[in-house]
Amino acid sequence: GAGVSQSPSNKVTEKGKDVELRCDPISGHTALYWYRQSLGQGLEFLIYFQGNSAPDKSGLPSDRFSAERTGGSVSTLTIQRTQQEDSAVYLCASSLEGVVSPLHFGNGTRLTVT
């Protein structure tokens, strides 16, 4: 079956613009994660969705970042008023049930803020 799909694969934007990143998880996976991968910095947790429960937003770096998950499926990560330090690869992952099930990662969206 299809894996986790992310779009766009690459996004170049000017500083100050808003961007939306999309994630289509594997069908039936109730858990969905967003991570940020910067060069040499590993993966930074951003936000977690589990079913209909309130998301854990504790990793969002500022109030310019927000995410939603509609109908328990597709998720959108929005960054408002982008800054150069937002440049990174944004990874989405889904799993059947939290971390005890394997996380399936998408190929990411590479965001470059000029």
Partner 1 sequence: AQSVTQLDSQVPVFEEAPVELRCNYSSSVSVYLFWYVQYPNQGLQLLLKYLSGSTLVKGINGFEAEFNKSQTSFHLRKPSVHISDTAEYFCAVSDGGSNYKLTFGKGTLLTVNP
Chain residues in the site for partner 1 (CB under 8 A): 3-4, 31, 33, 35, 40-43, 45, 48, 50, 56, 91, 93, 97-100, 102-108
User: In this structure, what are the phi and psi dihedrals at residue 19, rounded to the nearest 5 degrees?
Assistant: -135, 150
- Residue placing its CB nearer to partner 1 in the complex, 13 or 50: 50
Report the alpha-carbon distance of residue 82 to residue 56 in Å, rounded.
Answer: 22
Least distance in angstroms from the C-beta of 102 to partner 1: 4
For residue 104, with 0-12 CB atoms within 10 Å meaning exposed, 13-18 middle and 19 or more buried, which class applies? Answer: middle
> In the complex with partner 1, which residue's Cβ is closer, 3 or 8?
3
To the nearest whole angstrom, how small is the minimum distance from the Cβ of residue 14 to partner 1? 28
d(CA 112, CA 14): 8
Tokens 């039936």 correspond to what residue? 28
Question: Whose Cβ is closer to partner 1: residue 38's or residue 112's?
Answer: 38
Q: Which two tokens stand for residue 24?
A: 């289509």
Identity of the residue numbered 76: T
Return the number of the residue (16 or 28) whose C-beta is nearest partner 1.
Answer: 28
Nearest approach in angstroms of CB 92 to partner 1 is 10
